[in-house]
Amino acid sequence: EPEVTQTPSHQVTQMGQEVILRCVPISNHLYFYWYRQILGQKVEFLVSFYNNEISEKSEIFDDQFSVERPDGSNFTLKIRSTKLEDSAMYFCASSLDRINQPQHFGDGTRLSIL
Amino acid sequence: QQQVKQSPQSLIVQKGGISIINCAYENTAFDYFPWYQQFPGKGPALLIAIRPDVSEKKEGRFTISFNKSAKQFSLHIMDSQPGDSATYFCATRMRGNEKLTFGTGTRLTIIP
């Protein structure tokens, strides 16, 4: 079964540094998402992306965050200047359509900010 | 109004028993109610989902019961097995929207 692939599985970064989290969505999917899960807490929506544009974003997704689909297969989340509170598990998801098909999640990248 | 309240936080069930996890929501504009299963070190995986035009949906040992008037929905796992031990999240999505709003999760442990 096709799956969403995320790299790296664990990223350790110094506070204030930039970090890029990478995702390869399922190949025929058109809608892409980032969620995050702070340790022990619920999964929270960050942003959705379609047709090379952000379609929706949460209040968490401030100017420090950006997303990009640099080529036909990758989908990236960049955090420009990381803070301690950015430490979390970041999940990428993709779906075939916006409403009728489910979102499929990757196994996540654990981001640790020191 | 965007929140989804999930209970219990943790649940221990004997093998062969029925596991029941509940969620409550406030916003009547939600029109999609999925349950996700998450194993340690893995991402959430869709287990089963329901829309508000039906009151129950069954897939194998997993059943969603949906009570529109009470704004509640629950996951029932029949004949629970040790392999069902995982964290379960309910979620909701607003009509016409892409964003999933997750509950706080239930850690389910099935004991022999």
**Full residue range of the structural domain in which residue A40 is found:** 5-113
Task: State the Cα–Cα distance between residues B72 and B79, nearest whole angstrom.
Answer: 23
Give the residue among B1, B8, B13 at the shortest CA–CA distance from B88.
Answer: B8
Average pLDDT, integer, range A77-106: 94
Inter-chain residue contact A103 with B43, CB threshold 8 Å: no
b or e along A41-79 (b: 16 or more beta carbons within 10 Å of the residue's beta carbon)? ebbbbbbbbbeeeebebbebbeeebebebeeeeebebeb
**H-only helix segments in B1-112:** none
- For residue B42, the tally of other CB atoms under 10 A from its CB is 14
- B73 vs B31: CA distance, rounded Å: 12
Q: Residues in chain B whose beta carbon is closer than 8 A to a beta carbon of chain A?
A: 32, 34, 36, 41-46, 49, 89, 91, 96-105
Q: Which of B98, B100, B107 to mutate to test the interface with A (most CBs of A within 10 A)?
A: B98
Say if the Cβ atoms of A35 and B45 lie within 8 Å.
no
- pLDDT tens-digit profile of B37-92? 999 989 999 999 999 899 999 999 999 999 999 999 999 999 999 999 999 999 99
**Which residues in B lie closer than 8 A to residue A104 (C-beta atoms)?**
46
Asked if the peptide bond before residue B8 counts as cis, ω within 30 degrees of 0, the response is yes
CATH number, domain containing residue A48: 2.60.40.10
Residue A104: pLDDT band (50, 70, 90) is: very high
Expressed in percent and rounded to 5, the helix, strand and coil fractions of chain A are 5, 50, 45
**Nearest Cβ partner for B43 among A41, A56, A106:** A106
Instruction: Name the least confident of A38-42, A98-102, B13-17, B38-42.
Output: A98-102
Q: What is the pLDDT of residues A7-22, one digit of tens each?
A: 999 999 999 999 999 9
Query: Are residues A91 and B44, on separate chains, in Cβ contact within 8 Å?
Result: yes
DSSP A6-41: EE-SEEEE-TT--EEEEEE--TT--EEEEEEE-TTS
A-B contacts at Cβ under 8 angstroms: 50
Per-residue pLDDT of A32-55, as tens digits, reads 999 999 988 889 999 999 999 999
Tokens linked to A65: 């965050």
Number of domains forming the structure of chain A: 1
